[in-house]
Amino acid sequence: FLGSIIVNPNLSPEEQYKIGASLSKLREKDILIIGSGGTVHNLRALNWSKQSGEADQWAIEFDNWIRDHINKWDLDSLFKYDAIAPNAGLAVPPYGNEHFVPIFYAMGAADNEKKAKLIHFSYRYGNLSHSVWQFG
């Protein structure tokens, strides 16, 4: 089986999570669910002179907040990230949230296990974060 779901950036994080949860039956059939995106993705804020390793403080603060709440599976806070996470408006601008919301689909698909493991994390261009999470 090879298929894809196009994310709807106009849905609430809770609705996106519920769509992901509806995919959990596929995981039970050994079908891999992949959500592709980025936690900090604001092309207008990139610093093209910074390659890898250097990161802007505002991006670090947002990513740390996201990481902490994902690890706790704190859905109440994650669903309100845009209002309560530090620097959320800069990290996930409304015109670019389609890069962030796949994380809710992927987490939702692992709702029956509620486990998260960060496998890789890095920055490019000062604030473009690259993370690989395993859920479930």
Q: Is-above-0.75 flag for pTM?
A: yes
Residues above pLDDT 90, as percent of the chain = 76
Average pLDDT score over residue span 113-117: 96
Q: What are phi and psi of 35, to 5 degrees?
A: -110, 120
79-to-22, 70, 97 alpha-carbon distances in Å: 17, 11, 13
Contacts of 46 (CB under 8 A, 6+ apart): 125, 126, 127, 128
Q: Which domains are present in the chain?
A: 13-135 (3.40.830.10)
Give yes or no for residue 62 having a pLDDT over 80.
yes
| CA–CA gap between residue 59 and residue 64 (Å, rounded) | 8
CB–CB of 37/103 below 8 Å?
A: yes
The number of beta carbons lying within 10 Å of the beta carbon of residue 128 is 23
Average pLDDT score over residue span 107-136: 95
Average pLDDT score over residue span 13-34: 92
DSSP classification of residue 66: H
Maximum CA extent, the chain = 45
Average pLDDT score over residue span 85-92: 97
What's the pLDDT score for residue 3?
65
